[in-house]
Amino acid sequence: MIPLGRLTLALILVFLYAPVVVMIVMAFNESDLYALPLQPSLKWFTALAGNEKLIDASRNSVLIAVITAVLGTAIGTLAALALARHAFRGRSVLQLLLLPPIAIPWLITGTAMLVFFYWTGIGRGLHAMILGHVALAIPYVVLVVGTGLQGLRSDLEEAAMSLGSTPVHAFFAITLPLLAPSLIAAALFAFAVSLDQFVVSYFLATPGVSTLPVEIYTSIRKGFTPEINAVSTLLLGASVMLFLVFAVLTRMGEADERR
């Protein structure tokens, strides 16, 4: 049974990663028709540098992701602190309401946001995409930061205040540094969720203002070119780096909890 299980796992991994490996390899292939044998070249990365649509879309994606990470982490952290440190009527309901946005299909969420933004006069565009991405990121931030808060000792703040510290000073001097790995991990999570978001961006984008996933989808519909492989390879590299940083910060948080 063990060899069979290992074989099954290996086949699953090959099924998942083989297309990604082919995409990366073809990004460095000279041929635009994916002809073999492979001829190593940076041709498509050079072509990507001159593709204004993909460059502008990439710039928009990074801008939206950074703003989403900052706003989503700030709002989500405040919400996590309120849920973890204060007892008030309806707290359990609010905690339950954080889960549906994660479970609801993004197609439904995108449609609902489009209708709501039109109804309220917000409309579509870069600002609407930022609002949509922040709304999607907040539940993830609350969960990550909330998990980090569970491992912190609240009596440390109480001890600081008993020695004359104010609640605000105790929070910034004691709780915030201990919570830093969770905050950074939550910000990276929000950044990754925003950078990868397609459905909501597709519904809220306007002509000439789109994100990288939307532009890739539009380019594929018109005709696939290896430039898509090049930009996808760069995006994959950035995602892997974020994942590694997230893994390191998670281990740091676990080490702090053991102490």
What are the sequence ranges of the domains in the chain? 1-41, 46-258
Instruction: Tell me the per-residue pLDDT of 106-157, one tens digit each, with 9 for 90 and over.
Output: 888 889 999 999 898 888 889 999 999 999 999 999 988 888 888 776 667 6
Please state, in angstroms and rounded to a whole number, the distance separating the CA atoms of residues 210 and 199.
12
Tokens for 99?
A: 């889960």
Average pLDDT over residues 228-247: 80
- CATH class, range 46-258: mainly alpha
- 141/161 Cα distance (integer angstroms): 28
Residue 1: the pLDDT is 47
Among 153, 175, 144, 163, smallest CA distance to 259 is for: 153
Rounded Cα–Cα distance for residues 198 and 212 (Å): 8
pLDDT at 257 over 70: no
Q: Is the full-model pTM beyond 0.85?
A: no
Residue 138 is predicted with a pLDDT of 92
Whole-number CA gyration radius for the chain: 22
Sign of CA dihedral 30, 221, 128, 140: negative
Query: Where is average pLDDT lowest: 59-63, 138-142, 204-208, 238-242?
Result: 238-242
